[in-house]
Amino acid sequence: MTTNEARTIAEMILGTIDGLEDDIDYQKGFHRDYYERVIEDTFGSLHCSVYWGATKCVLVPAEFDYVIKIPFNCQGWETNIEDAPRFCGARYVLTGGEGEDYCRAEAEVYEAAKAEGLEQFFAETIFAMEYKGLPLYIQPKCEDDDNSKERTSKIKTLESDDAADFSQSYFSAASMSEEMIFNFLVDYGEEKVEQLFCFLDDIEASDFHDGNWAFLNKKAVLIDYASYHEGW
């Protein structure tokens, strides 16, 4: 997807969720610890669900195939909250260096994965536009549940040893659940999954807990692959 296409999608989503009235002073800080003051006040009136983890805020519109991701800005809160520095170690694998934009980190991992022919494992994160002071990225909307009979029966034919082998051989796989690895094996096959883990280990990717993968078009994909590194 191009940035122009991403912008068009982001603008359509903003139209359906009604958008924001005021600009946000992003540089001053935009952080999960200030959920009530910043995130809820900012997004509470929008017509969408709002989620957040340690490093990003995610707007999920009900009737749209994409979500909007907004990276937190911790530096602005540096003096306000004790653990802000912990969330500022996003690594930019293509352009180099570190910062606090975990969405940019994700977008760069996607580009790097694409260069290796591994993009099918990732829900694409791409920068879309600046909006009211916020950097907006988009990503295809994914589902966290796929209990189809076909999938369940395929998974049952795999031995738990298969997943354990990966967990022992690859640092990145060690942070994944067996279920996650099983689903990758079912959807992409052993050879491709091995390539994925080599790639993830190469870029020192981590933090693949079960909240960080989901299903896109009935296939398992990573939705949060920015990793987490302590900063400063």
Check residue 104 for interaction with ligand ATP (CB under 6 A): no
Query: Minimal CA–CA distance to 75: which of 99, 52, 103?
Result: 99
Separation of alpha carbons 131 and 43, rounded Å: 13
Nearer to ligand ATP, 118 or 216 (CB): 216
Check residue 211 for interaction with ligand ATP (CB under 6 A): yes
Nearer to Mg ion, 7 or 203 (CB): 203
Min dist. Cβ of residue 71 to ligand ATP (A): 9
Check residue 224 for interaction with Mg ion (CB under 5 A): yes
Q: Which of residues 11-70 bind ligand ATP (CB under 6 A)?
A: 51-56, 58, 60, 67
Check residue 106 for interaction with Mg ion (CB under 5 A): no
- Coil, strand, or helix at residue 189? coil
Figure out which of the listed residues 134, 212, 213, 225 binds Mg ion, where binding follows CB under 5 A.
212
Cβ neighbours for 120, distance < 8 A, ≥ 6 positions apart: 188, 192, 219, 221
Greatest Cα-to-Cα distance within the chain, rounded to the nearest angstrom: 54
228 binds, among ligand ATP, Mg ion, none (CB under 5 to 8 A by kind): ligand ATP
Please report the DSSP string for 165-186 in residue order: HHHHH-HHHHTS-HHHHHHHHH
Separation of alpha carbons 81 and 187, rounded Å: 42
List residues binding Mg ion (CB under 5 A): 53, 211-212, 224
- Would you tell me which residues interact with ligand ATP (CB under 6 A)? 51-56, 58, 60, 67, 102, 123, 139, 141-142, 211-212, 223-224, 226, 228
